[in-house]
């Protein structure tokens, strides 16, 4: 774990660097308060800090106060090193946001124990953040494929449509459906069907741009959102998806399974297709027509969203 040492005394700084390295820390050095603040506000900054109270530039207590005002999610555990012994000074340091303080001169084992407590607090917060992120992912993603779930992908579409309206852009939408998926489940079993869903989702996801979105709309249906895309581009992209997915069979424990997909495409290029429901409905009708026309093809909704 990285630890910041902010200390203007060269000999003491070198001694602390050597000692902390021996205890398994990666020491980051600051010679004054301004440098300490810059390091603590940088990307991938140390989560543990030893700040001398009295330093050139900003004093340690001021560095601590500024860091706390930012209210970062990744908590920084700050220990003040001080020769101040008045109760009022100690209270000032703690009110500025210091987590602990240690009086100079101090015993090495005392500092080591306090650093151990600080490191444990940082590790516990990391575990809490990881658990929170895991629950967020479970709430917003499909458990089988890892794609956005139905509610999230529709919400994303609403946000993208609102942004497109402000910026006078178009949003392309693709509805994709695995052909004869029930037959795959009936013939090869649901475990093989699950693998088909998962690997198909992964292949399509790999073809997305960094700012595209794909989610599970329901069953074996996928919804693809293409910001800043015309109807023509969305249609061409759907065709690339179709060719890519159908070009290789999927290797499952039940044997190789060949699959195809049908696609319906629409775009928010006019007032009639201006909300998520209308756009999805237009793409879904185009998908239905692709199914009627023999599957394994791309059908495009008319520019006005109407379908015969």
CA–CA distance, 200 with 122 (Å, rounded to integer) = 40
- The CB density around residue 1, as the number of other CB atoms within 10 Å, is 13
> ∠ at Cα 147 (146, 149), nearest 5°?
110
Beginning with the edge strand found earlier in the chain, give each strand of the sheet holding 77-82 in spatial order: 26-30, 2-6, 48-52, 77-82, 100-103
Helix (H, G, I), strand (E, B) or coil at 30: strand
Please state whether beta strands 2-6 and 26-30 pair in parallel, antiparallel, or not at all (unpaired): parallel
Residue 220 bears catalytic tag: yes
What does the alpha-carbon distance between residue 49 and residue 65 come to, in Å, rounded to a whole number? 13
Which listed residue (35, 59, 220, 299) is catalytic?
220
Report residue 174: phi and psi, to 5°: -125, 125
Q: Which residues are catalytic?
A: 220
């Amino acid at each position: 774990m990285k630890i910041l040492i902010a200390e203007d005394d060269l000999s003491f700084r070198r001694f602390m660097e050597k000692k902390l390295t021996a205890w398994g820390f990666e020491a980051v050095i600051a010679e004054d308060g301004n440098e300490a603040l810059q390091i603590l506000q940088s990307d991938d900054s140390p989560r543990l800090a030893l700040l001398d109270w009295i330093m050139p530039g900003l004093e340690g207590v001021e560095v601590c106060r500024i860091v706390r005002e930012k209210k970062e999610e990744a908590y920084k555990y700050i220990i003040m090193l001080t020769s101040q012994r008045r109760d009022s000074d100690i209270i000032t340091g703690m009110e500025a946001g210091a987590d602990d303080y240690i009086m100079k001169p101090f015993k090495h084992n005392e500092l080591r124990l306090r650093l151990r407590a600080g490191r444990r607090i940082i590790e516990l917060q990391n575990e809490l953040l990881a658990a929170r992120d895991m629950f967020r992912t479970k709430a917003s993603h499909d458990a089988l494929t890892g794609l956005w779930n139905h509610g999230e992908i529709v919400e994303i579409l609403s946000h993208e449509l609102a942004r497109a309206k402000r910026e006078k852009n178009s949003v392309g939408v693709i509805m994709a459906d695995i052909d004869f998926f029930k037959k795959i489940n009936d013939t090869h079993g649901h475990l093989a069907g699950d693998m088909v869903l998962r690997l198909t989702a992964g292949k399509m996801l790999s073809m997305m741009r960094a700012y595209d979105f794909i989610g599970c709309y329901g069953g074996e249906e996928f919804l693809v959102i293409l910001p800043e895309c015309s109807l023509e581009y969305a249609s061409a992209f759907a065709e690339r998806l179709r060719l890519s997915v159908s070009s290789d069979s999927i290797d499952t424990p039940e044997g190789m399974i060949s699959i195809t997909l049908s696609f319906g495409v629409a775009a928010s290029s006019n007032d009639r297709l201006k909300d998520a429901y209308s756009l999805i409905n237009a793409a879904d009708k185009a998908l239905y027509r692709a199914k009627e026309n023999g599957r394994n093809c791309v059908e495009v909704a008319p520019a006005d969203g109407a379908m015969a």
